[in-house]
A and B are shown apart, each in its own frame.
Chain A
Amino acid sequence: MEAVAATALSHRNLLGIADLTPEEIVLILDTAEAMKEVGRRAIKKVPTLRGRTVVNLFFEPSTRTRTSFEIAEKRLSADTLNVAIATSSVVKGETLVDTALNIEAMAPSMIVLRHAASGACHLLSRICKAAIINAGDGMHEHPTQALLDAFTIREHKQRIAGLKVAIIGDLLHSRVLRSNVILLRKLGAEVWVCGPATLIPPGLERMGVRVTTRIDEAVDGADVVMLLRIQLERMQGGFFPSLREYFRTFGMTEERVRLARPDVMIMHPGPINRGVEIASEVADGPYSVILEQVANGVAVRMAVLYLLAGGADDEAVA
């Protein structure tokens, strides 16, 4: 059911994959291919977003996502601004709404928001004229991560429909999981999710996934295995006895990789915990595409920025 591409996005924001149609997802992925070509040039810059201001508003630490957005914005010639939370008014007790209204008063075209609270992007979208791009909100969604994952899968497999994708790890707290499940289901993949029973939210199966606590069953014959980071800082709640036991039960080892298809792709949104959710030999192995994911993140984010800006004003991309 991979659909024919749409030509524009129907929403002015990217709050989550849930808001996108399959056609729009394909449009973003197709656009990202053109953007990836820009990244191969000697002069990796196009004038598409010249004169537009993009604010990267990050309320949570992030290296990969923030850097990736910033590079994407610069390659599109946008004026970018990183609001560093440690030096902002937030530490003085300003609310998210007031912070956003102040930034909004300076008339940016877009705000890229990362925030610890689920729904923070929805809140901003109701008060801001600027387009809001969700760079991860709490335990809710991380849409550009799912898009870059889909882009990477499509590059390798030429399709998404019909693939068996196994997602393994902390299913309860992961926004990467939610966005990926929604996207992969919209494009027709068969999605298995696996983790300790204490980290499986009730009702997850209603998102159209097969839920299991047996990793061998999840990985068996998989085309793609995606590991989710065990957020060590969140594990105070006693969700499982020890990291050692987690690795024994759910860690992706070379032995388990052999249960998957021979051409399996091993993915991870990063940052990885070696020896917790993934063995080093697997992370560094030939089937690992972890660094490709990072590289593709720039192209996918360029595509999102470009499409949300309403496409090119005058100059073509390619």
Chain B
Amino acid sequence: MKRLLRGGRVVDPANGIDGQFDVLIERGRIAEIGRDLPVTLAEGGEVVEIPAGLVLCPGFIDMHVHLREPGQEHKETVATGVLSAVTGGFTAVACMPNTKPVNDNAGVTQLILQKAREANLARVYPIGAVSRGQKGEELADIAELREAGCVAVTDDGLPISTAILARRALEYTSMFAMPVIEHCEDQTLKGEGVAHEGPVAASLGLKGIPGVAEAITAGRDILLAEMTGGHVHIAHMSAWTTLEAVRQGKSRGVKVTAEVCPHHFTLTDDMLAAPVPYDTNTKMNPPLREARDRDSMLSGIADGSVDVIATDHAPHHYDEKNVEFDRAPFGIVGLETAVPICLDRLVRSGVIRLPRLVELMSVNPARILNLHGGSLATGAVADITVLAPELPVTIDRAALKSKSKNTPYHGWTFTGGVAATIVGGRIVHVGADSGWPTGRD
């Protein structure tokens, strides 16, 4: 079946496209992009007239989510996770291996992929564990994981335990062109920390995690990537010192890439004290840091030293968060808030222009993980995120499709949202009041 999306602004930086174009989709792939494409409604095709103001981009890919299945289905399942993803405008997600059991073997990978096929919404790319059981002792069967469908490896939730294991992982994965994703955090400096180490934690009496705990591990792994020729991808970067290490590595030609989460370029640790003191929805790891760190993340996004915006979508059940701050698990949901935050706080506020956002959320994650996507070239899969940059959006935790509601953005209003999410040519989500003219397929 053919479908012609007619008249929207198309932003496809991988192909140098930014302007009014028609997009023809055929059998789930991009058939043609051009001006005034002829309408050929033979074979039951469909024309979708795109209202002015909507923007068509290659599908957004969130390369850092926790889908919690198998093992913690009370927080999220693959099915609820991908529903949350497409609702948030993501056509694909890469999911972290810290499930129960850990995704350190083909069986778990296949289970996740099977659940994703059944849900049939966003594409799901599993990420395998670096070490067996994420115990940090010996490498997992990485070739087997790769064969089963894993696109990267990580011990996320924890850093790779030792320099020697990180070295081996970088050497070994270089055989498969897959990155090692690193949760950078020196565990001895973290200790029992629950908040960014600084004046806010000091006044609230919370144990601190210094920014340097992140930068030390990042520095170690960037040096090891340089030595081995492996590719290290720094997950959820939050500290200005880490960004400096990444910049230095890049300037020396090291294969290092880095992602930043929306909360780390919008919020600071002041949120722990007000408006709701000790709100456990402000507790995540890495923690919300100081203004200097937040502003540094914005500068890295603007100057290109940050490669990716990823959410670290970390659903937790209400009961788990409704406890003392010290006891609450780290993490917030992010899939359904990322696009409004980025459109408002990055594009609208002038930090970056829209094509750069598409690089951060589509082109670069596809490149780093070697995925199809990130491009609307002829023959590419028709994964399209349609943005409504003028749409006012108020975050309502009760309306989230994720099984968990742990967001610090409840009640926040942003300008910019999702008009539609198209996966393989199929319209899987339509944003309310966004102006998108059709329903879901």
Name A residues whose Cβ lies closer than 8 Å to a Cβ of B. 18, 95-97, 115-120, 122-123, 126, 137-141, 175, 178, 201-204, 206-207, 237
Contact = CB atoms under 8 A, between A and B. Distances in A.
Given A97-B322, A122-B277, A139-B206, A117 B327 contact: yes
Contact of B199 (A139, A141, A206): A206
B323 A95 contact: yes
Given A138-B326, A202-B202, A203-B199, A119 B207 contact: no
Contact of B326 (A117, A203, A206, A207): A117
A102 to B, nearest CB: 15
B315 interface: no
Contacts of B204: 118-119, 140
Residue of B201, B202, B276 ringed by the most chain A CB atoms within 10 A: B202
Contact of B198 (A97, A126, A202): A202
A120 B199 contact: no
B172 interface: no
3 A-B pairs with least C-beta separation: A203-B199, A119-B278, A140-B205
B278 A201 contact: no
B7 interface: no
Contact of B324 (A120, A126, A206, A237): A120
A18 B326 CA distance: 21
A204 B202 contact: yes
B202 A118 contact: no
B389 interface: no
A135 B165 CA distance: 47
Contact of A207 (B203, B206, B207): B203
Contacts of A175: 205
B322 A201 contact: no
Contact of A202 (B197, B277, B322): B197
Interface in B184-232: 191, 197-208
20 contacts: A95-B322, A96-B324, A117-B324, A117-B327, A118-B325, A118-B326, A119-B206, A119-B278, A122-B277, A123-B323, A138-B206, A138-B326, A139-B205, A139-B206, A140-B204, A201-B202, A202-B199, A203-B198, A203-B202, A206-B203
Contacts of A202: 197-199, 202, 208
Contacts of B277: 119, 122
Contact of A237 (B191, B197, B198, B319): B191
A71 B361 CA distance: 62
Nearest to A205: B199
Contacts of A123: 278, 323-325
Contacts of B191: 237
Contacts of A115: 324
A95 B207 CA distance: 21
A178 B197 CA distance: 16
Nearest to B278: A119
Given A95-B323, A122-B278, A203-B199, 15 more contacts: A18-B203, A96-B323, A97-B322, A115-B324, A120-B324, A123-B278, A123-B324, A138-B205, A139-B206, A141-B205, A175-B205, A201-B197, A201-B201, A202-B197, A207-B202
Interface in B320-348: 322-327
Contacts of B197: 201-202
Contacts of B208: 201-202
A18 B278 CA distance: 14
Contacts of B278: 118-119, 122-123
Given A201-B208, A237-B191, A119 B325 contact: yes
A118 B205 contact: yes
B383 to A, nearest CB: 43
A139 B201 CA distance: 10
A117 B325 contact: yes
A97 to B, nearest CB: 6
Contacts of A122: 277-278
A203 B191 CA distance: 19
A118 B323 contact: no
A123 to B, nearest CB: 6
A175 B205 CA distance: 7
A184 to B, nearest CB: 15
B319 to A, nearest CB: 8
Contact of B207 (A137, A139, A203, A204): A139
B323 A97 contact: yes
Contacts of A116: 326
Nearest to B277: A122
Contacts of A139: 205-207
A246 to B, nearest CB: 21
A117 B192 CA distance: 12
A126 B276 CA distance: 10
Contacts of A204: 199, 202
A80 B431 CA distance: 56
B212 to A, nearest CB: 11
